[in-house]
Amino acid sequence: MVHAYNILLVSQNPACTVDMHSGQRSRVRKLQYIAELERTVDVYQTLESELAIRVASLLQLRVALSMENSKLKQQLAKLQQQKLIMDGQHKSLRKEVERMKGGLAESINSQIRTYTGSNTGAEAVRSEVSWLKLDIGKLNLD
């Protein structure tokens, strides 16, 4: 019954009524502010979940790309090694061709000296020399 009496006194006193309405508005604003903060927290939690998934995906992609990069580096090293070997073989073959050209020229010159006594022999050697020159031109590795 005391409570009803207090309400009656508050309703009769205008200053108390203003304070009561001000307190109610303050509580409503406080509840609205709390609700807004809760919505903001929910938004940030959702964003955090999405970003965590994205980060995990990017980490997996990074691992896959790192593995692929390692494989490509190994292939590159292997190809560089093969290139060095092939360059050495090429150089060796060029030297061999030059040596063979020199030996062939010497052989032809000795044949020409042998056949210089007869014109038909010299003609045969000249035609053979021109034919060999054509083939040697094909062997040029430059």
List pLDDT tens digits, range 4-54. Answer: 555 555 556 666 677 788 889 999 999 999 999 999 999 999 999 999 999
Q: How far is CA 40 from CA 45, 54, 64, 104, 113, in A?
A: 9, 21, 36, 92, 105
Q: What is the pLDDT of residue 130?
A: 60
Structure tokens at 102: 């020199």
Give yes or no for residue 129 having a pLDDT over 80.
no
Length of the chain: 142
Q: What is the pLDDT of residue 5?
A: 52
What percentage of the chain reaches a pLDDT higher than 90?
52
Q: What is the pLDDT of residue 139?
A: 58
Judge if pTM exceeds 0.75: no
Q: Mean pLDDT throughout 60-82?
A: 98
In degrees, rounded to 5, the angle at the alpha carbon of residue 15 between the alpha carbons of residues 12 and 16 is 70
Domain boundaries, the chain: 2-139
Q: How far is CA 126 from CA 45, 97, 118, in A?
A: 94, 21, 13
Q: Cα 31 to the chain's mean position, in Å? A: 53
Q: What is the pLDDT of residue 63?
A: 98
